[in-house]
Amino acid sequence: MAIALFIAVCVLLMFGYPVALTLAGTALMFAAGASLFGLFDWSFLQAMPSRLFGIINNQTLLAVPLFVLMGVVLEKSRIAEDLLDSMAKLFGRFRGGLVVSVIVVGMLLAASTGIVGATVVTMGLMSLPAMMKRGYHPGFAAGAICATGTLGQIIPPSITLVLLGDVLSSAYQQAQIQMGSFSPKTVSVGDLFAGALIPGLLLVSMYIGYALIVLKAKPQWFPAEENERADDPVFSLLMRSLLPPIILILLVLGSILLGLATPTEASAVGACGAIVLALLRRSLSVSTMRAVLLSTVKVNAMVFLILIGASLFSLVFRGLGGEELIHGVLTELPGGVFGATLVVMLVIFLLGFILDFIEITFVVVPIVAPVLLMMGLDPVWLGIMIAVNLQTSFLTPPFGFALFYLRGVAPAQLTSSSLYWGVMPFIGIQLLLIVLMAIWPSIATWLPKLIYG
C-alpha cells in the first residue's frame, strides 16, 4: 500500500494536477481505502494539528518568505539587468567576455533569488538574444545560461538549503532517537550554507574553465570582437552595479556564518537591504512594489501549501508501514552504506524529472534521510549531495525543468536539439563535482567543521 501510494502520487503529478492537493488528497483516499480492510489506523492523523502548528511556528521556515522577497525585489527592480549590462561592458574588451559575464551574474542571481525558474527566465530574457545576435554558438550560449540558472540550488543563501536544513535537522534527531542517542547537536541551515560554499564556487570555476577551453578549441563559436565596451572607468562600473549586490549578499551570508544572526534574521536584513538598494537606484515604484509583493505571496503560498500536503502524505505513508519498508530495503541492499546512498541518489535524480525541489525535500528526504543518517552519513554532506543531485536533474534532457523554463523564453531559432547538446558538458561538470564530493567528503564538510566545530 505504501509503494502504491507513492507511485499514485507520481503518476497524478505527471498529469499536471496541483502538487499540494495531489499529495493530501491521494493520501486521504489511500487512508480511507486501507482503513476499510484494517490496514490503516486513523490515530496516525491525530498528529496533523501539531504538525501544522509546528510549520507555522517554525522560525527557520520564516526565512523562506524573506529570502523570496529579497530575490524578487532584485529581479523586478532591474538591478539584475543593470548588473549584467555592466559586467558585459567590463568584460567586453575580451573575446568571449559576455559568457564569463553571464556565468558570474548567474552566480550572483542564484545567491540572491535561490529559485531556479526565476534565474533561468531572467538570464534567458536578458542575455540569450544578445549572445545569439553577436554570433555565439546557440547551443553553447543556452547551455551556459541553463547551467548558471540552476546554481540557485547550491549557492548560499539558497531557499533549497533552508528547506533541506529544516528537514535534515528533524531527520537527524529522529535517527539519534532510534539509535538511542540523545545528543543536543543537530544540523542547522548555517551548516549547510557553509558546506555549500566551496562546492558552489568550485562549480562556478569549472564552468568558467570549460568556457575558456571551448574558446581555445572552438573559436568559431565566439564572435571575433565584442560590441560592448566600457565607456566608464572600470572602478565606476564596479562601484555602481557590482559592489552593492555583492555587499548585500556578503552581509546576509557572513552574518549567518559568523554566528551574528540566525538565517531568519539574516533574511530580514537581506530583504530590507534589497528594498533600500532599489530605492537608492530609484527603480522601485508603487506598481513595481505591488508586483514584488504579489509574486512573493504566490511563491510562499505554494511552498507552505505543499509543506502541509507533504505532512499529511508522510503521516499516511508512515501509517501504511512505508518507513519500515524503506528502512528494510536500504539496509539490506548490497554494498552497505555506499549501495544505499547510490540508490537514493539515483531515485532522487529520476524524481527530479517530475517533481520540483520543494516536493522532493518535503516528501522524499524525510523518508530516506533518517535511514542514511543511522548508517553513519554526515548530514551536511548528505544535504549538499542532494542539492547538487537535484541541480543536475533539473538540467538533464529531456525532462529537466531548467530546459523548459529557457525554452519558453528563447528565440525561435534555438532548436531543442541544440539546447540539449549545449547542456551536456555542464551536466558532465556537475556529475564530476558529485564524484569529487563522494571521494573527498571534506569538500562539503571542512568549512562547517572549521567554523562551527
For 151-160, write each residue's pLDDT tens digit. 878 888 777 8
For 6-20, write each residue's pLDDT tens digit. 888 888 877 878 878
Q: Is the pLDDT of residue 414 over 90?
A: no
Among the ranges 293-297, 326-330, 403-407, which has the highest mean pLDDT value? 293-297
Domain segments of the chain as ranges: 18-26+41-452
For 350-396, write each residue's pLDDT tens digit. 888 777 777 788 888 888 888 888 888 888 999 999 999 988 888 88
Give the pLDDT of residue 436: 94
Task: Give the integer Cα–Cα distance in Å for 66 and 303.
Answer: 13
pTM comes to 0.82
Contacts of 278 (CB under 8 A, 6+ apart): 73, 74, 77, 79, 284, 288
For 254-301, write each residue's pLDDT tens digit. 888 787 888 888 888 888 888 888 888 787 788 888 988 898 888 888
Give the pLDDT of residue 391: 86
Q: Which is it for the CA torsion 426, 427, 428, 433, positive or negative?
A: positive
Q: Which cell numbers hold the place of 106?
A: 548567474
Give the pLDDT of residue 431: 92
Task: Give the integer Cα–Cα distance in Å for 222 and 216.
Answer: 10
Q: How confident is the model at residue 437 (pLDDT cuts 50, 70, 90)?
A: very high
How many other β-carbons are positioned within 10 Å of the β-carbon of residue 422?
24
Q: How far apart are the two ends of the chain, measured CA to CA in Å?
A: 43
Burial of 378 (0-12, 13-18, 19+ CB in 10 A): buried
Average pLDDT over all residues of the chain: 81
Q: How confident is the model at residue 429 (pLDDT cuts 50, 70, 90)?
A: very high
Q: Is the pLDDT of residue 440 over 80?
A: yes
Higher pLDDT, 424 or 247: 424
For the segment 148-172, the average pLDDT, to the nearest whole number, is 83
